[in-house]
Structure 1
Amino acid sequence: MNRPFISLCPEITRTDALTLMDWLEDECVTRYLSDSRHVSRFIEQVIGRVQLPILTPLFNQGGRFFMAYDRHDARVGFVRLVKTGPDCEMVLVIGNRNDWGRQLGAAAIRESMKLAFLEMRAERLIARIHPDNARSLRAFERCGFVAESQAPALKSFAMTAMRYRQFLRETPAGHAANIHITEIDKDRLSSLLAFVRDPAVFELEHEIERATVVDPGQVPGDVVTMNSRALLQLDDEAVEVTLVYPEDADCSAGKLSVCSGIGTAILGYREGDALDWRMPDRTRRIRIEKVLYQPEATGNFHL
């Protein structure tokens, strides 16, 4: 059985806006949304006033807006993150009723936490939920949120950055396969993160945070470590790659930076593992067919 998968895309198109309008016309979807009428009016005004294919700047006024896609790149909902000081408030909607019950809400919450804590550097993430919205209450509780307060119309849940990192280490996989990195690779990658300015590097930080850290001499020989060479299946294409640090990257030679999409995705996985990973244009299915070379397996613990 496939695990629930959600990717959050920051680009908002006119087609996205029209889909949002359809969702917000469904009373079952908007039943627990306090500002649904305001949002509907805003979207309608934007569509009528702005004749542009990309509407991202308009949707990001006062916060950050993301469309939620499933593994088939179908739109299933949206997330809005509004950061005020150290706190970030989250609004989540799974817009198509046919997608309810697939645990996509919990998957979207996990992706939102990654953005809020590792990219936006919030200290606390807050969600305010109607007490009768049982499905959402269960999803946030399942993701580790703690109830803080309750009013007649809203129940407040929160997750702190410290608790989030602890949660990653205690339940590192969530709904993803566990991964392993060596102590040396972790130290080098953690130092790298301090200097890389690419906003997408938070994905690498997330993978490091959730990984099981092992002694270089104890890492299984079928794990993709730094400077490993592996045969991958990318959708229907077989590709041989070497996972390297950014300064050694050379796409023409199959040397992928660990900061690239596929590079971050394969770090720490083992032969036979398969995962879905969102690239800028679409979601890719990646399978580790074989680890052809691993430095640690040949005694090169400091390569």
Structure 2
Amino acid sequence: MSMRSHTLRPKIVVAESEHRQLLAMAGGGSSAAAETLLDEMERARVVPDARLPADTVRMGSRVQYRTDDDELNDVTLVCPSDADISAGRISVLTPVGAALIGLRIGQSITWLARDGKKHVLTVPGVGQLDRVGFE
């Protein structure tokens, strides 16, 4: 049976400072991705910034994720104003961005693409390279 037929919603963790900003960002949007981000923030375990595990996807993280069709992507998760897909910077207010936030290495999540199809992504790598612009 395909993983796409199940909905994967692993436990996620978000830093306290980012949680407030992400809630505000999601609340200000009206897209399906904003709704998804809001749902993710409501179910996230919120921890003090200093206690966020180093392998957690957060704003500014450089993330490798593998799709269910075995495509490996390498992106940086950013605010909508900093997004530039040609430079590998994806907004947290996109379906993939909202799915990635709070995941840890090894976790998989089901996400709904803009075409309405369910997909699964898995995170094999996370790096905390660029925290600029989200403090």
Query: TM (normalized to structure 2)?
Result: 0.85
Aligned pairs for 1:245-284 within 5 A: 245-281=79-115, 282-284=117-119
Aligned partner of 1:177 in structure 2 is 10
1:208 to 11, 24, 41: 41
Q: What is the CA distance between 1:294 and its match in structure 2?
A: 5.3
With a CA cutoff of 8 Å and minimum separation of 6, indicate the structure with the bigger relative contact order: 2
The alpha carbon displacement at 1:199 in A equals: 4.3
In structure 1, distance between residues paired with 2:40 and 2:50: 21
Larger radius of gyration: 1
- For structure 1, the residue ranges without an aligned partner over 5 or more in a row are 6-70, 73-103, 108-174
Structure 2 gap segments, 5+ residues each: none
Instruction: For residue 272 of structure 1, report the CA deviation from its aligned partner.
Output: 0.6
Say if 2:77 is the partner of 1:243: yes
What is the one-letter code of the residue matched to 1:206?
D
- Paired residue for 1:289? 124
Q: Distance in 2 between matches of 1:248 and 1:206?
A: 23
Deviation at 1:231, TM superposition (A): 1.0
Partner of 1:81: none
Matches within 5 A, 1:121-140: none
Other structure's SS at 2:49 match: coil
Instruction: Establish whether residue 195 from structure 1 lines up as the match of residue 14 from structure 2.
Output: no
When the two structures are aligned, how many residues end up with a matched partner?
132
Partner Cα separation in structure 2 for residue 256 and residue 186 of structure 1: 18
- Bigger proportion of residues as helix: 1
Give every structure 1 segment of 4 or more consecutive aligned residues whose post-TM-superposition deviation is greater than 6 Å.
Answer: none
CA gap 1:234/1:271 in 2 versus in 1, 3 angstroms = same
